[in-house]
């Protein structure tokens, strides 16, 4: 039996509900007042009544102060509360009132009880904010099947109508937020490639600017500031929004301000309005360009821009976007598309069609048809990371585990090592972050995860910690002890005061538990490496970075061809290393500051073979802790005796050299450059990943000489 579900666009200014009717067609459900969108406004009455939607918005425009709106911008902010008649409400509580109203109105139209829903949120909402959306749904009596991104939902609504394959930007300018998403619609998939946004940018900022503009004129004329009176300020905001909307229709209108017995009447043209708000529209265009750049794209690489959100009705949006693209897609209702996409997803989820979209409604006039299958693939808008100490223990840093724009759901496992005690409980505390900041203070701290139940073992215990992004973009953490393969207990605590992350780790705890390890990956990319071998090496290097414990290890990357290039100095930032690894087979992408002199000649052999060792000694010069150089080679180097001589200097400097060879690598040479017998490893191309993985494990477990395991 088909389960009736709804999709809810929980907007900053307006919300909307849709469902799939008995013919399989998505429809928008009108509210009690007969409108397809409901203002996201909640009014509180002294008697304890709570009024939501159109009526609440009317109450607000009369200047009543006991009205809440625009709280979605504060969702997930633990310090944000609004107080009405002595009671505090969080943005989650307020959202729950809206959801409850939407649910009740939908039930009236459908004549049935509804419990299952998909709710949308801006793509850049962090995991905590998504949790809050789920919580609000639960408070409203809904079983939230999942939380999906607004632009993805819009694209789903559009995508199922689209007949051709295309790459699109979804430009969603709402009342309080701006979201931009790069998507690809193919015959069998709707995939999000990248997303970005600004949750403090929306139609309201245009209203504010317009109000400011008129108030300036009033002040010039009467030398009085009407914004000093909060009721007038509120009225003027409502007037500004109306004026803005009028300017979407007409090229000129009047803005009237009456205050303190004075009345000013100002003519405003569309052109003046557009000039005054140019900086706002430019911010949206910059974000569009950065999302394109995230996928090495440009305006010319997209087939069109899909407009979503009420503010895209401003003619300015269209005229500015037209400068960059010929194709603005109007195929959808900007107010309803998000709810419709959510309704489609809800139907898929509840009726167990999983990710596959098969709509049979091909005869429907409205055109919501889809032939064949569509998979919906979304990405995470923000990187997931954790707090670690940097190599010299001078500061706390954010190390990224799952980079932004990774497909969700997604899971990454990272090792963590610790010394255990037989006398007391052994615990690990991991602070999970979200955001792109290099320092913890530049990120949102999602929580303190305490991992316990670790069994005492000799040496260092290794726990593999798994970080999951689920299909809603919320985060879960699980852990296993490697030696016992036992699942460990994970408890999520409130992170509390995080000001310690601004301190110096060395000062807080002079004795490090584990010594820092610096690894310099050195890859011979000359001659014979071209093609498959280099691609295998890239895969293996990525695996190595994933499997090493970056909380106390740094990894650098050096490339050896006719010259030696330092592609990445040792760092704990997995993203940075990852990017450098990817340039191994794309020398044209290597930043020019890395290219000394002439362009690289990849077809030549290794020129001065000693150079990598000379370079490595320099690189390690100021680094403390365990130093490790891992050389990957598949051929024979020029001037080998000199290379061996320089490698020996590395050994003398305390740099442990391991040599990994395959293909035509010279075994004797590998032995000569390695610091000990065990560190010369001969493998084959298909085993490269395994070999790198073993080395990462050994390093993570705190051993050095590579094959002396057990």
Query: What are the residues binding ligand ADP (CB under 6 A)?
Result: 11-14, 174-177, 202-204, 241, 244-245, 248, 309-311, 313-314, 335
Q: Which of 452, 454, 460 is nearest to 485 (CA)?
A: 454
Q: How far is the CB of 123 from ligand ADP (least distance, A)?
A: 13
Q: How far is the CB of 325 from Mg ion (least distance, A)?
A: 22
| 90: partner contacted, choices ligand ADP, Mg ion, none (Cβ within 5-8 A by kind) | none
Strands 262-269 and 396-402: unpaired
Looking at beta carbons only, is 202 or 385 nearer to Mg ion?
202
Rounded to an integer, what distance in angstroms lies between the CA atom of residue 180 and that of residue 172?
A: 6
Q: Between the CA of residue 477 and those of 447, 461, 548, 661, what are the distances in Å?
A: 10, 19, 18, 37
Looking at beta carbons only, is 205 or 524 nearer to ligand ADP?
205
Looking at beta carbons only, is 14 or 628 nearer to ligand ADP?
14
Q: How far is the CB of 40 from ligand ADP (least distance, A)?
A: 6
Interaction of residue 11 with Mg ion, rule CB under 5 A: yes
Q: Which of 682, 403, 384, 391 is nearest to 556 (CA)?
A: 391
Angle between helices 278-293 and 203-222 (to 10 degrees): 160
Nearest residue to the partner ligand ADP, using Cβ: 203
Looking at beta carbons only, is 13 or 679 nearer to ligand ADP?
13
Q: How far is the CB of 167 from ligand ADP (least distance, A)?
A: 23
- Three-class DSSP labels, 476-533: EEEEEECCCCEECEEEEECCCCCHHHHCCHHHHCCCCCCCCEEEEEEEECCHHHCCHH
Q: How far is the CB of 33 from ligand ADP (least distance, A)?
A: 16
Q: Are 31 and 55 in contact (CB under 8 A)?
A: no
Q: How far is the CB of 138 from Mg ion (least distance, A)?
A: 22
| 203: partner contacted, choices Mg ion, ligand ADP, none (Cβ within 5-8 A by kind) | ligand ADP
Q: Which of 43, 101, 86, 93 is nearest to 68 (CA)?
A: 43
| 639: partner contacted, choices ligand ADP, Mg ion, none (Cβ within 5-8 A by kind) | none
Q: How far is the CB of 254 from Mg ion (least distance, A)?
A: 29
Please report, for the chain, how many H helices and E strands are present, in that order: 17, 36
| 469: partner contacted, choices Mg ion, ligand ADP, none (Cβ within 5-8 A by kind) | none
Q: Which of 319, 324, 275 is nearest to 304 (CA)?
A: 324
Looking at beta carbons only, is 170 or 657 nearer to Mg ion?
170
Q: How far is the CB of 338 from Mg ion (least distance, A)?
A: 6
Distance of CA 99 to the CA centre of its chain: 26
H/E stretch holding 573 reads none
Rounded to an integer, what distance in angstroms lies between the CA atom of residue 247 and that of residue 242?
A: 9
Retrieve residue 381's tokens: 């808008």
Looking at beta carbons only, is 338 or 553 nearer to Mg ion?
338
Looking at beta carbons only, is 203 or 635 nearer to ligand ADP?
203
Q: Find the part of the chain contacting Mg ion (CB under 5 A) among 3-11, 236-244, 479-487, 493-501.
A: 3-11
CA dihedral (376, 377, 382, 386) positive or negative: positive
| 199: partner contacted, choices Mg ion, ligand ADP, none (Cβ within 5-8 A by kind) | none
Q: Find the part of the chain contacting Mg ion (CB under 5 A) among 168-176, 354-362, 398-406, 433-441.
A: 168-176
Whether omega for the bond prior to residue 427 falls within 30 degrees of 0, making it cis, is no
Rounded to an integer, what distance in angstroms lies between the CA atom of residue 584 and that of residue 244?
A: 52
Q: How far is the CB of 181 from Mg ion (least distance, A)?
A: 13
Looking at beta carbons only, is 245 or 506 nearer to ligand ADP?
245
Q: How far is the CB of 425 from ligand ADP (least distance, A)?
A: 48
Looking at beta carbons only, is 241 or 646 nearer to ligand ADP?
241
Looking at beta carbons only, is 153 or 537 nearer to ligand ADP?
153
| 533: partner contacted, choices Mg ion, ligand ADP, none (Cβ within 5-8 A by kind) | none
Interaction of residue 174 with Mg ion, rule CB under 5 A: yes
Q: Find the part of the chain contacting Mg ion (CB under 5 A) among 170-178, 257-265, 500-508, 683-691.
A: 170-178
Retrieve residue 120's tokens: 């949308």
Residues recorded for the chain: 710
Return residues touching Mg ion (CB under 5 A): 11, 174
């Amino acid at each position: 039996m088909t389960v009736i579900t709804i999709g809810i666009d929980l907007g900053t200014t307006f919300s909307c509900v849709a469902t799939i009717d008995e013919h399989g067609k998505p429809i928008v459900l009108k509210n009690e007042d007969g409108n397809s969108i409901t203002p996201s406004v909640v009014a509180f009455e002294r008697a304890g009544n709570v009024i939501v939607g159109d009526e609440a918005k009317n109450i607000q425009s009369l200047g009543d102060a006991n009205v809440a709106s625009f709280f979605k911008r504060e969702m997930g902010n633990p310090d944000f509360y609004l107080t009405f008649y002595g009671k505090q409400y969080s943005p989650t509580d307020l959202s729950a009132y809206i959801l409850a109203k939407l649910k009740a109105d939908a039930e009236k139209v459908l004549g049935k009880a509804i419990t299952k829903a998909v709710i949308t949120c801006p793509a850049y909402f962090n995991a905590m904010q998504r949790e809050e959306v789920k919580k609000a749904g639960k408070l409203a009596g809904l079983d939230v099947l999942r939380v999906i991104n607004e632009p993805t939902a819009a694209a789903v609504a559009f995508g199922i109508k689209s007949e051709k394959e295309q790459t699109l930007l979804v430009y969603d300018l709402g009342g309080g937020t701006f979201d931009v998403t790069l998507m690809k619609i193919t015959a069998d998939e709707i995939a999000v490639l990248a997303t970005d946004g600004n949750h403090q940018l929306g139609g309201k900022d245009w209203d504010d600017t317009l109000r400011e503009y008129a108030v300036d004129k009033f002040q010039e004329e009467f030398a009085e500031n009407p914004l000093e009176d909060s009721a007038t300020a509120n009225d003027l905001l409502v007037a500004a929004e109306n004026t803005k909307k009028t300017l979407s229709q007409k090229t000129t209108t009047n803005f009237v301000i009456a205050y303190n017995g004075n009345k000013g009447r100002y003519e405003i043209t569309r052109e003046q309005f557009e000039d005054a708000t140019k900086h706002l529209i430019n911010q949206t265009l910059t974000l569009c360009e950065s999302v394109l750049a995230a996928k090495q794209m440009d305006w010319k690489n997209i087939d069109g821009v899909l407009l979503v959100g009420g503010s895209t009705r401003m003619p300015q949006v269209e005229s500015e976007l037209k400068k960059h693209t010929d194709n603005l897609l109007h195929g959808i209702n900007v107010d309803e598309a998000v709810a419709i996409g959510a309704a489609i997803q809800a139907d898929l989820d509840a009726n167990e069609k999983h990710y596959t979209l098969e709509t049979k409604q091909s005869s429907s006039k409205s055109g919501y048809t889809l032939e064949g299958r569509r998979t919906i693939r979304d990405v995470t808008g923000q990187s997931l990371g954790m707090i670690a100490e940097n190599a010299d223990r001078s500061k706390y840093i954010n190390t990224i585990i799952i980079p932004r724009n990774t497909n969700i759901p997604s899971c990454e496992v990272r090792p963590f090592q610790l010394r255990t005690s037989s006398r007391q409980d052994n615990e690990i505390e991991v602070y999970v972050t979200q955001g792109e900041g290099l320092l913890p203070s530049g990120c949102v701290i999602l929580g303190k995860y305490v991992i316990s139940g670790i069994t005492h073992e000799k040496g260092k215990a290794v726990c593999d910690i798994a970080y999951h992004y689920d299909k809603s973009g919320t985060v879960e953490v699980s852990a296993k002890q490697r030696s016992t393969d036992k699942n460990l207990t994970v408890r999520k605590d409130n992170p509390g005061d995080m000001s310690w992350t601004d301190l110096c780790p060395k000062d807080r705890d002079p004795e490090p538990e584990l010594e820092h390890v610096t690894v310099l990956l050195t890859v011979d990319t000359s001659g014979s490496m071209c093609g498959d071998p280099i691609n295998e090496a890239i895969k293996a290097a990525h695996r190595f970075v994933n499997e090493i414990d970056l909380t106390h290890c740094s990894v650098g990357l050096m490339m050896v061809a006719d010259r030696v290039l330092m592609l990445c100095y040792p760092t704990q930032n997995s993203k940075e290393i990852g990017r450098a690894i990817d340039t191994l087979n794309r020398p044209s992408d290597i930043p020019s500051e890395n290219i000394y002199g002439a362009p690289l000649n990849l077809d030549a052999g290794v020129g001065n073979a000693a150079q990598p060792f000379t370079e490595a000694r320099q690189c390690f010069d100021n680094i403390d802790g365990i130093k490790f150089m891992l050389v990957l080679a598949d051929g024979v180097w020029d001037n080998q005796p000199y290379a061996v001589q320089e490698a020996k200097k590395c050994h003398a400097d305390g740099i442990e050299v391991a040599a990994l060879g395959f293909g035509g690598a010279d075994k004797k040479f590998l032995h000569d450059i390695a610091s000990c017998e065990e560190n010369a490893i001969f493998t084959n191309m298909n085993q490269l990943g395994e070999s790198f993985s073993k080395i990462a494990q050994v390093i993570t477990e705190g051993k050095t000489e590579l094959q002396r395991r057990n």
